[in-house]
Structure 1
Amino acid sequence: MRDSEFDLTAPELTEDDFLTLDDPYFDPENVAVVTGAASGIGRATAVALAANGLTVVGADIDADGLAETGDIADDCGVSGVFHGVETDLTADDDVEAVVDAAAEEGDLRFVANIAGMQHISSIPEFPMTEYDRLTDVMLRAPFKVTQAAMAHIRDTDDGVGAIANMCSVHGHYATTDKAAYITAKHGLVGLTRAIAAEGAGALRGFSVSVGYVLTPLMVDQIEDTAAERGISEREVVENVMLGQARTKEMMTPAEVANLFVFGCSRHAKHLNGGDLLFDGGYTNTYE
């Protein structure tokens, strides 16, 4: 149910939003690949890493959105560089091409697998075409990006780098009507640990898990959940999404992006195979 007085607008990104760190690998000679860079958390992470001096190659199927991300990076006065590459993450050739293109820009050291989607439906009614599409984008594609990127990271002079996966509170527990999303996020936990196991210490794997973030994807999910349950969008946010949380506000995309910046930095050298859980107390507290 539409609530005309309830604002569901995602915040605009500004230069002051981003955490910047002093790190020997944060310079334009080193490259990060960010998937889902045309909007939401992927866009914010691409700009945040560029703000830390990296050359960032953003992969997304939305070419117009990638161009807008580039404009935002320019407006934020980033010290690094952003290149958008139109990429179908469900096509192996596209994935290999964008990773190879990133490696041509410098030393590929960082990957942020962020691209996501959602479909709200119960398991008995869940369309298998949507299940396949969602898991292709959110689980198979991160594996393929990782597979393509690991050789390039290992080919740098010291093999130092990090591959980060966008997980979720739904990688820690399950709720109703999101079975494919939950399956993908739990799978990313396993992929993260596998990266750490094979990374030999220099190449780290980590994941980021957050609660509800005000992104275009989340706005769509709020609208779908309201329709599915026959309640207002305000009730979805306040009672369904934040009902169990102790911090009663949604995160912003920039706040999540800053977790990726920290995780890729020298300050997180012991974060390997682990998860950064920033959920306002949602997962580990209850009444």
Structure 2
Amino acid sequence: MSTDEFDPTVPELTADDLLVLDDPRFGPGTVAVVTGAASGIGRATAVALAANGLTVVGADIDEDGLEETVGIAADVGAAGEVRPVRTDLTADDEVESMVEAAAEAGDLRYVANIAGMQHIASIPAFPMDRYDLLSDLMVRAPFLVSKLAMPHIRDTDDGVGAIGNMSSVHGHYATKDKPAYITAKHALNGLTRSIAAEGEGTLRGFSVSVGYVLTPLMADQIADTATERGISEREVVEDVMLGQARTTEMMAPAEVANLFVFGFSSHATHLNGGDLLFDGGFTTTYE
């Protein structure tokens, strides 16, 4: 491989990658909603929660990708089930139908708002149609899913549950050429704290912030950033993305999924309004 080449292959998900916990609420009668479940972190999270015995409603617009997620859950021997529900997260009626389907499947206790997108451009050059789509998908949709899910969580026998939001190092600080993404991630942090403020201690809100994760979305972002900055893809990875981190490898999707598993579990009772920051030192160190 030349110094200018980068291998964008997403690591294969295996049972050994997944955190499995003994938790009294992790069983087939408990339901978790996972958005963006057709690929990347959303797929890994859906599979990880199913491996913990939960019934997982996987929401995504990509039907074929959802079916692949169902197959991967079966391949790793998941004790729980992934139920695919094709959902356009920018269409309110489809979101409502998806949440209702989740509530009908058992006790809806957990939501992982993971679906996302990226567009690389400076603020003056940023197309507003892309801004609107990104904002609808990454801010409005998590708000709506949370709004619809919270009454169901409260209606369980003990009102215990959690909503986890996929934030980012870019929810903590900013780099250039990702203004809409950065704005959205900061907004998600506000939603997380709002859920915690209204959850009365039993319905928790938390966020997960990581650095660079090797997903299909990230592979596309590497190519776009290389074009935007006029450098090679390997320079993007080594200098732009990982140059400031102390851990010099990208995370795997399963590593992020395991943070959601922990965050939903009874081991994380005091994680409420807080953020699980696993960034390899990226936001706390300078070159």
TM-score calculated relative to the size of structure 1 = 0.98
Percent identical pairs in the alignment equals: 78
Alpha-carbon distance in structure 2 between the residues aligned to 1:131 and 1:164: 23
Alignment partner of 1:137: what SS? helix
Structure 2 Cα separation of the partners of residues 168 and 70 of structure 1: 26
1:236 maps to 236
CA distance in 2, matches of 1:4, 1:65: 30
The number of equivalent residue pairs is: 286
1:145 and 1:5 mapped to 2: Cα distance?
40
Residue 128 of structure 1 corresponds to which residue in structure 2? 128
Give the secondary structure class of the aligned counterpart of 2:164: strand
Contact residue 4 and residue 233 of structure 2 kept, 8 A: no
What code does the residue aligned with 1:141 have?
A
2:96 paired residue number = 96
> Match for residue 76 of structure 2?
76
Q: Is residue 259 of structure 2 the alignment partner of residue 259 of structure 1?
A: yes
Structure 2: which amino acid aligns with 1:20? V
Q: Deviations over 1:218-270 (max 9, x none)?
A: 00000000111111110000000000000000000000000000000011000
Unaligned runs of 5+ in 2: none
Structure 1 counterpart SS, 2:284: coil
* Alpha-carbon offset, residue 120 of structure 1: 0.2
Scaled by the length of structure 2, the TM-score of the pair is: 0.98
Match of 2:116, SS state, is coil
- Per the alignment, residue 249 of structure 2 pairs with 249
Partner of 1:25 in structure 2? 25
CA RMSD of aligned residues (A): 0.9
State whether residues 3 and 233 of structure 1, in contact with CA within 8 Å, keep that contact through their aligned partners in structure 2: no
Unaligned runs of 5+ in 1: none
Instruction: State the partner residue of 2:111.
Output: 111
User: 1:126-162 deviations in whole A, cap 9, x for unaligned?
Assistant: 0000000001000000000000000100010110000
Structure 2 Cα separation of the partners of residues 4 and 279 of structure 1: 25
Pairing 1:285–2:267 present: no
Matched-pair contact (CA < 8 Å) for 1:244–1:282: yes
Measured against aligned partners, the alpha-carbon deviations of 1:161-191 in whole angstroms (never above 9, x if no partner) come to 0000000000000000100000000000000
SS of the aligned residue for 2:219 comes to helix
**Tell me, what secondary structure is at the counterpart of 1:245?**
coil
Partners of 2:39 and 2:266 in 1: CA distance: 27
Contact 2:32–2:102 (CA under 8 A) maintained in structure 1: yes
Distance 1:10 1:103 in 2: 32
- Is the contact made by 1:59 and 1:86 (CA closer than 8 Å) also made in structure 2? yes
Runs of 4+ in structure 1 displaced over 6 angstroms?
Answer: none
Query: Which one-letter code corresponds to 1:112 in the other structure?
Result: A
Contact 2:4/2:234, CA 8 A, preserved across alignment: no
Please say if residues 57 and 84 of structure 1, whose CA atoms lie closer than 8 Å, have aligned partners that are also in contact: yes
Q: Is residue 2:278 matched to residue 1:274?
A: no
Give a deviation string over 1:75-113, Cα, whole Å, max 9, x none: 010001110100000011111110000010000000000
**In the alignment, is residue 158 of structure 1 matched against residue 158 of structure 2?**
yes
Kept after mapping to 2: 8 A contact 1:8/1:219: yes
Give the partner amino acid of 2:132. Answer: D
Structure 2 SS opposite 1:125 = coil
Q: CA deviation at 1:285?
A: 1.3
Tell me, yes or no, if the aligned pair for 2:4 and 2:232 is still in contact at 8 Å.
no
